[in-house]
Structure 1
Amino acid sequence: MMCAKCARPFTSGSILSALDKKWHPECFVCTICKRTLADQSFHVKNDDPFCANCWKENFQPRCATCSKIIDPSEQYMTYNDRAYHKNCFTCAACHQSLAGKQFCIKDNGYYCPEHKLKYKDFKIILHFK
Structure 2
Amino acid sequence: MDTHTLSLGWCVKCSGGVYSSDQACQAMGRVYHDRCFTCCTCGQKLKGKPFYDFSGQVFCEEDYLYSSVKHFAEVCSSCGYLITDMVLQALGKSFHRECFRCVVCNETLEGQQFSVDAQNKIYCVKDYHRFLAQTCAVCEQLILPIEGSNESMRVLTMGRSYHVACYEGKSNI
How many pairs align?
A: 93
- Quote the Cα distance in structure 2 between the aligned partners of 1:40 and 1:56: 15
- 1:44 is matched with which residue? 116
1:125 corresponds in structure 2 to none
- In the alignment, structure 1 segments of 5+ residues that lack a partner are 91-96, 102-111, 113-129
User: d(CA) in 1 for partners of 2:116 and 2:154?
Assistant: 23
Any idea what the Cα deviations from partners look like across 1:56-91, whole Å, max 9, x if unmatched?
Answer: 112222223141324345454646x3323344469x
- Aligned twin of 1:84: 162
Distance 1:77 1:47 in 2: 22
Measured in 1, the distance between the counterparts of 2:123 and 2:107 equals: 9
Q: Which structure shows the higher helix fraction?
A: 2
- Give the TM-score taking structure 2 as reference length: 0.44
TM-score computed with the length of structure 1 as normaliser = 0.56
Query: 1:19–1:88: structure 2 CA closer, same or farther, 3 Å change rule?
Result: closer
The equivalent of 1:32 in structure 2 is 104
**Larger Cα Rg: Structure 1 or Structure 2?**
2
Report 1 or 2 for greater relative contact order, CA contacts < 8 Å, sequence distance ≥ 6. Answer: 1
For 1:35 and 1:21, locate their aligned partners in 2 and report how far apart those are by CA, in whole Å.
Answer: 19
1:43 is paired with a residue whose SS is strand
* Uncovered stretches (5+) of structure 2, i.e. residues with no partner: 1-72, 146-150
> Which amino acid in the other structure matches residue 163 of structure 2?
H
Q: What does residue 170 of structure 2 align with?
A: 98
- Whole-Å separation in 1 of the counterparts to 2:86 and 2:160: 44
User: 1:5 matched to which residue of 2?
Assistant: 78
The question of whether the paired residues in 2 share the 8 Å contact of 1:62 and 1:70 is answered with no
RMSD: 2.6
User: How much does 1:29 deviate?
Assistant: 0.8
CA distance in 2, matches of 1:75, 1:3: 35
Aligned residue in 2 for 1:21: 93
> How many percent of aligned residue pairs carry the same amino acid?
30
Give yes or no for contact 1:66–1:88 (8 Å, CA) kept in 2.
Answer: no
1:47 is displaced (CA, Å) by 2.2
